[in-house]
Structure 1
């Protein structure tokens, strides 16, 4: 809500998987495990929906992807951000283990500044996520708390 009130465009980048797996990666154990998971991320299914706590707004964009580890690959994200004149991206969600880290590298490689509120992302185990913040993400992104970001947006 604070982002929207501050004029920040909110874009939700989701991962989905067709029931037949068409278009999905199969080249890593992670993808193979997703294919066997009891809860499928099929488009339109409850598992693929954005949780109600996020409180979608009509002004939000939703960019689903069927493959890959980052929302920059195979979506219109980069084009949309450039058309909006975006230079800084705030990344939130899951997981520090894979998607947030890939997203950050892809964004930095595309010349964006990246801000990550440490308490608005998750990784497992927590100790691993903390090590990734300290030794990897902290070198390429600005790490803040949600409170610091909210304070900036509410100015």
Structure 2
């Protein structure tokens, strides 16, 4: 097994084999929906760097299904009346992120239930699982994700999607704190920019789990099936 440690690819010692547990692994694919990835001016929370991983994520998931690894798609969904956010206690990112990117014209529509912005852009297979209702940066907060994973007997989570320096990083922190082994697919996550992507992945590699290329994760699983 090889992983990136502070951006440098390294062979891992034998004790890291516990991250290679095919029968107890699940993929968490975070926020790959229209609200971030639509290529239109009214996209309420645009994450344009994420569009380049749509096809690779689909390919990775297709391969995972063949090896028996379940795929869990996670999406942000807020109640229509806004009480979860803009008309309740507003998410901090709505105040801070515009300081960097400027005004986001349609931001109030982000993740509103029933809207096109909650529709997945990546493929959802017939046997895939969906966790809806993510309301803040972590997919574990105010959702049943942890309950679902424990019902499935999951011990290792492989994370892809967006955004690396935001929801991916929060997912990795919470998953690790809850006792899961964490792998982040380095080439299947995207963030605000390359600088913050690299910083977030470095943090994961030092404190939370493994940062691996999708091809290496896939090869690890296929070796497990063959074995």
| TM-score tier after normalising by the smaller chain length | 0.7 to 0.9
Hey, what's the Cα distance between the residues in 1 that align with 2:178 and 2:75? 20
CA contact (8 A) 1:89 1:115 kept: yes
For structure 2, the residue ranges without an aligned partner over 5 or more in a row are 1-61, 99-103
Output the CA distance in 2 between the equivalents of 1:70 and 1:9: 20
Following the alignment from structure 2 to structure 1, what is the Cα–Cα distance between the partners of residues 140 and 134? 12
Q: Secondary structure at the match of 1:116?
A: strand
The counterpart of 2:132, out of the listed 64, 87, 97, is: 64
Higher RCO (C-alpha under 8 Å, 6+ residues apart): 2
The runs of 5 or more residues in structure 1 that have no matched partner are none
1:74 Cα shift? 1.0
1:66-117 Cα shifts (integer Å, max 9, x gaps): 5221111111111111111110000111011210111011000100000011
Structure number with bigger Rg:
2
2:198 corresponds, among 124, 127, 130, to 130
Matching of residue 26 in structure 1 with residue 89 in structure 2: yes
| Structure 1 residues 108 and 66, CA gap change in structure 2 (3 angstroms) | closer
Question: Which one of the candidate residues 174, 178, 196 is aligned to 1:110?
Answer: 178
C-alpha distance in 2 between matches for 1:17 and 1:76: 15
CA RMSD between the two structures: 2.1
Determine the structure 2 residue equivalent to 1:6: 67
CA distance in 1, matches of 2:172, 2:132: 18
Structure 2 distance, partners of 1:87, 1:70, is 18
Distance 1:43 1:75 in 2: 15
Q: What is the aligned length?
A: 152
Task: Give, in whole Å, the separation in 2 of the partners of 1:36 and 1:131.
Answer: 29
CA distance in 2 between partners of 1:104 and 1:137 (Å): 7
Aligned mates of 2:141, 2:135 — CA distance in 1: 8
TM value normalised by structure 1: 0.87
* In structure 2, C-alpha distance between the alignment counterparts of 1:144 and 1:131, rounded to whole Å: 15
Q: Give every structure 1 segment of 4 or more consecutive aligned residues whose post-TM-superposition deviation is greater than 4 Å.
A: 32-36
Q: 1:93 aligns with which of 126, 149, 161?
A: 161
Q: CA shift at 1:47, angstroms? A: 1.5
Q: What SS is found at the alignment partner of 1:72?
A: coil
Q: Using a 3 Å threshold, how does the CA distance of structure 1 residues 8 and 35 change in structure 2: closer, same or farther?
A: farther
